[in-house]
Amino acid sequence: MRRAIPRIALPVTARPCCRTVCRPTPTTTTTPRHFSTAVPKKADIPIQEVLRRKIWGSEEAPGAPGMPPPAPQIPMVEEPTKEEAEREGYIEESDGRALPVVGLAPGLTEWDVQTFANVTRPPSTEAIHAAMHRAVVEVYTHALNGKPVDTPAVEGSVAEEGFTPRVRIEVRQNGEAVFHYGDTSVEGEVLKLSTGVEGEVVEEGAMGEWLQEGLDGKGWVELGFRGDDIKFAVYKRVYRLTGIRVADPDLNRTKTVADLLTHLVAKPRPTKLFDILITETDLPTLPNVKIVGQRVRPWDRERVIGREQPFEKVVGHTYPFEEARR
């Protein structure tokens, strides 16, 4: 049977109180409510940037997000400006080692300091001989004119010049050395440590003579150092020109230019054991020792005892095409 009047739901309060009824029923008009104590996340910052800041340790990490950090700039030694140098009472700041203090920008690791010898590539044997000749001429020229022998090493330039190659050094049997300048202007230019006119070319013949003599170990390389001051002045100048250092004990033992050259033009140590055994051991002098440089093949042994010989020599056979050629 249908009811004419629909059943009306009784209000909540009118209903008998029970567990299921006391719970308030949600209505469609109210919105859900959330309550939380956590800090809301910044959804606009990518995870890569978050990690970058975390690694750097602060919010202001260098470089743009996603880009590599900027390359560190190489610092240069700051020289005082004209105004600073001309200021009265200006004293350049120096540390305990009497070296100038250079400012260091943050994040920079490399220094670009001009050293005494700025030679990056190892020079060739001829270049070393040429540098030695130049150093000897300059130092001895200063010594002969009563000037400090250290001057070429301290004030001399490393640029190429065309005056010292023209000087010929003659070493006599009694140990005397004679410097033939050829022209008084050359001696003057050497004293001034001038590098000459740009583009000036040295005569090849003049340089080739003493260069070849030096490579053969004769002539000017037999020049003995007159004193320790000259020896060290020559080595200092050679070091500035070539960048090659010689150990102190070796330097103390050198007596002549040739001795110093042996330390500058040192031969590379042999890599093969065969070369080492030949040069550094007394095995080649022993009568029962034989050192071979190549692999001993099986047929080498046969040939040494004379067992293996070419077939043609043993039998005396000749091929038809050999007969035709004859």
Q: Which of 69, 92, 273, 309 binds other proteins (CB under 8 A)?
A: 273
Site for other proteins in 223-252 (CB under 8 A): none
Q: Is 292 in the site for other proteins (CB under 8 A)?
A: yes
Beta carbons within 10 angstroms of residue 189's beta carbon: 20
Q: Which position among 83, 294, 316, 324 is part of the footprint of other proteins (CB under 8 A)?
A: 294
CB of 278 to other proteins, least distance (A): 10
Identify the residue among 203, 291, 317, 322 touching other proteins (CB under 8 A): 291
- In the numeric block, which tokens belong to residue 96? 């305990």
Does position 154 bind other proteins by CB under 8 A? no
Q: How many degrees, rounded to 5, is the angle at CA 244 between CA 153 and CA 116? A: 40
Which one of residues 274, 299, 302, 317 is an interface residue with other proteins (CB under 8 A)? 274
Query: Contact between 286 and other proteins (CB under 8 A)?
Result: yes
By the rule CB under 8 A, 296 interacts with other proteins: yes
Phi and psi (nearest 5°) for 11? -60, 165
Closest to 158 (Cα-Cα) out of 141, 140, 134, 142: 134
Q: How far apart are CA 59 and CA 79, in angstroms?
A: 36
Least CB distance from residue 293 to other proteins, whole Å?
Answer: 7
Span of 93-101, 137-145, 250-258, 269-277 interacting with other proteins by CB under 8 A: 269-277
Under rule CB under 8 A, residue 280 binds other proteins: yes
Among 118, 144, 289, 312, binds other proteins (CB under 8 A): 289
- Nearest distance from residue 264's CB to other proteins, in Å? 25
CB of 303 to other proteins, least distance (A): 15
Interface with other proteins, residue 272, by CB under 8 A: yes
271 touches other proteins (CB under 8 A) = yes
**Using the rule CB under 8 A, is 16 a contact of other proteins?**
no
Contact 212, 130 (CB under 8 A): no
Given a contact cutoff of 8 angstroms between Cβ atoms, the answer to whether 220 and 214 are in contact is yes
Q: CB–CB of 223/257 below 8 Å?
A: yes
Question: Which of the stretches 196-204, 207-215, 223-231, 285-293 binds other proteins when contact is defined by CB under 8 A?
Answer: 285-293
Q: Any idea what the Cα angle at residue 58 is, between residues 54 and 61, rounded to 5°?
A: 85
Place of tokens 């004379």: 306
Is residue 288 close enough to count as binding other proteins by CB under 8 A? Answer: yes
122 versus 293: smaller Cβ distance to other proteins: 293
The single residue listed with the structure tokens 């203090």 is: 101
By CB under 8 A, the count of residues binding other proteins is 21
Taking the C-alpha atoms of residue 225 and residue 234, their distance in angstroms, rounded to an integer, is 9
Separation between Cα atoms, residue 165 and residue 210, nearest integer Å: 9
| Contacts for 202 with CB less than 8 Å, ≥ 6 apart | 162, 165, 166
DSSP letter for each residue of 88-116: TT----B-TTS-B-----TT----B---S
Amino acid at 5: I
CB of 274 to other proteins, least distance (A): 7
What is the smallest separation between the CB atom of 287 and other proteins, expressed in angstroms? 7
If binding is defined by CB under 8 A, does position 282 make contact with other proteins?
A: yes
Q: Does 59 bind other proteins (CB under 8 A)?
A: no
Quick check: 239 and 118 in contact, CB under 8 A? no
Nearer to other proteins, 121 or 290 (CB): 290
283 binds other proteins (CB under 8 A): yes
- Residues near other proteins (CB under 8 A) are 271-274, 276-277, 280-283, 286-296
